[in-house]
């Protein structure tokens, strides 16, 4: 056996790790499909772990640090959508759901629970790698060269520290949610269209439609908006979105 390849068994599933640059976890119960996906990612230069069920996936996420998680919805020991919710509570890694279903309702539910993308089987290797590249591109971009805190009423955005404070309390955002807020607060008073947000946050080759932006925007608003007040992010009908100057407009 190659000494660079390590295997361990956790929670009834096998977790196999191979060194690389970006760390990815493939959660897939079908051994052949898992092996093919893992080999595809390794060929692209990623460090890959494979979990065969939900218990092994949670153990891996709890004990390791991943940049990307490919999560199959159809797992034998747990519902993949519920597992997505649990995993999101443990990590800010990009989550891509893999499924044989193309049900639009499943997509919306999955995005609300914290997934960043959704790929329907069977998918081409080129499509999967392109989607992953689009997600990872945001993390490779340099942050705006500013140490100042951006303030909008009770909202504070610390771009260099990747920190958001709402009314004095730290708020945890996913990478996509923070990227959306980062782009909006980088351009105070400017209205950004959905197309502009897609290009800045996901990349120009993003595949999914406007509903993806809207779902992530709704998740972001729930975290930063007051319970009984107007949104801090204004929707300009037919145009796009911009920050409210004080969060009370």
Q: Is the confidence at residue 44, as pLDDT, over 60?
A: yes
- Look at residue 37 and tell me whether its pLDDT is greater than 90: yes
Strand order in the sheet with 68-72: 6-10, 13-18, 46-51, 22-27, 68-72, 94-99, 117-120
Domain co-membership, 17 together with 104: yes
> In a 3-state reduction of DSSP, which class is residue 163?
strand
pLDDT single digits (tens) 105-125: 566 667 777 788 888 888 888
Number of folded domains that form the chain: 2
Q: What percent of the chain has pLDDT over 90?
A: 28
- 106 and 30 in a common domain: yes
Collapsed DSSP state (helix, strand, coil) of residue 240:
strand
> Considering the domain boundaries, does residue 169 fall inside one?
yes
For the segment 35-44, the average pLDDT, to the nearest whole number, is 93
pTM of the model: 0.57
Residues 101 and 12 placed together within one structural domain of the fold: yes
Q: Are residues 31 and 116 in the same domain?
A: yes
84 alpha carbon, distance to own chain's centre: 11
Low-confidence winner among 92-101, 109-118, 136-145, 171-180 (lowest mean pLDDT): 136-145
User: Dihedral through CA 143, CA 126, CA 34, CA 140, nearest 10?
Assistant: -10
Query: How far is residue 240's CA from residue 193's CA, in Å, rounded to a whole number?
Result: 4
In a domain, 248, yes or no: no
pLDDT band at residue 91 under the 50/70/90 scheme: confident
For residue 226, tell me if it sits in a domain. Answer: yes
Q: Which residues are CB-neighbours of 231 under 8 A, at least 6 positions away?
A: 221, 225, 244
Q: Residue 86 pLDDT more than 80?
A: yes
Q: Do 129 and 155 sit in the same domain of this protein?
A: no
The answer to the question of residue 63 being in a domain is: yes
What is the extent of the structural domain holding 190?
Answer: 150-243
* Mean pLDDT value of segment 200-223: 80
Instruction: Choose one of 120, 140, 160: the last residue of a domain.
Output: 140
């Amino acid at each position: 056996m190659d000494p660079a390849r390590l295997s361990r068994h956790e929670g009834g599933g096998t977790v196999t790790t191979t060194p690389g640059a970006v760390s990815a976890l493939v959660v897939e119960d079908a051994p052949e499909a898992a092996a093919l996906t893992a080999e595809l990612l390794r060929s692209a230069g990623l460090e890959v772990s494979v979990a065969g069920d939900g218990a092994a996936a949670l153990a891996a996420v709890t004990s390791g640090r991943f940049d990307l998680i490919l999560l199959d919805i159809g797992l034998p020991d747990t519902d993949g959508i519920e597992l997505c919710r649990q995993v999101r509570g443990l990590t800010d890694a990009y989550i891509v759901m893999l499924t044989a279903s193309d049900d639009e309702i499943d997509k919306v539910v999955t995005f609300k629970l914290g997934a960043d993308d959704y790929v329907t089987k069977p998918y081409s290797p080129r499509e999967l790698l392109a989607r992953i590249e689009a997600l990872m591109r945001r993390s490779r971009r340099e942050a705006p060269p500013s140490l100042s805190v951006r303030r909008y009423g009770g909202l504070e955005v610390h771009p260099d520290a990747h920190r958001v404070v709402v009314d004095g309390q730290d708020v945890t955002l996913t990478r996509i949610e923070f990227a959306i807020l980062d782009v909006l607060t980088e351009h105070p008073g400017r209205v950004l269209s959905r197309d502009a947000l897609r290009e800045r946050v996901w990349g120009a080759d993003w595949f999914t439609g406007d509903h993806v932006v809207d779902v992530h925007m709704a998740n972001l608003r729930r975290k930063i908006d007051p319970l009984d007040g107007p949104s801090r992010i204004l929707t300009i009908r037919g145009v796009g979105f911009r920050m409210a100057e004080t969060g009370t407009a």
